Amino acid sequence: MLIVDDDLHIHELYGRLIAAALPPHRVLNAGSVAAAQVLLADTVPALVVLDLTLPEIDGFALLHWLRNGRRCNTCRCWWSVVAVFQPTTFASSIILT
């Protein structure tokens, strides 16, 4: 499992959810598309949780790279767009492809 998000709180939240639902799986974290590509050079995760609104290179670029690459074109992707309204509330839109 790979979580790609620039927000540490989202890494922690999704990491806990994945660990609780799928305890034997290792969860990797990347804070950017570039960091994710480095990890994906050596790993083919079963699932990628992907923030589409990353700052430097957006998640759509990584999704395109995953889908067109030979190693990761079968990875399941869980797209995530999180909007924080107040420090205690947020809305999340998630799509699995």
Question: Where would I find the H helices in the chain?
Answer: 8-21, 33-42, 59-68
Q: How far apart are CA 13 and CA 26, in angstroms?
A: 15
> What per-residue confidence (pLDDT) applies to 63?
83
- Assign 8 a pLDDT band (cuts: 50, 70, 90): confident
**Is the pLDDT assigned to residue 89 strictly greater than 50?**
no
More confident residue, 60 or 79: 60
CATH of the domain at 50: 3.40.50.2300
Evaluate whether 30 touches 57 at the Cβ level (below 8 Å).
no
* HEC sequence for 72-89: CCCCEEEEEEEEEEECCE
Count structural domains, the chain: 1
The per-residue pLDDT for 36 is 92
Residue 90 has pLDDT above 50, yes or no: no
Containing structural domain, residue 12 = 2-96
Question: In this predicted structure, what is the pLDDT of residue 11?
Answer: 84
| The model's pTM | 0.75
What's residue 33's pLDDT? Answer: 92
The token pair at 73 is: 């074109």
User: Is residue 70 very low, low, confident or very high in pLDDT (cuts 50, 70, 90)?
Assistant: low
Query: Buried b / exposed e across 25-38, counting CB within 10 Å, b at 16+?
Result: eebbbbbbbeebbe
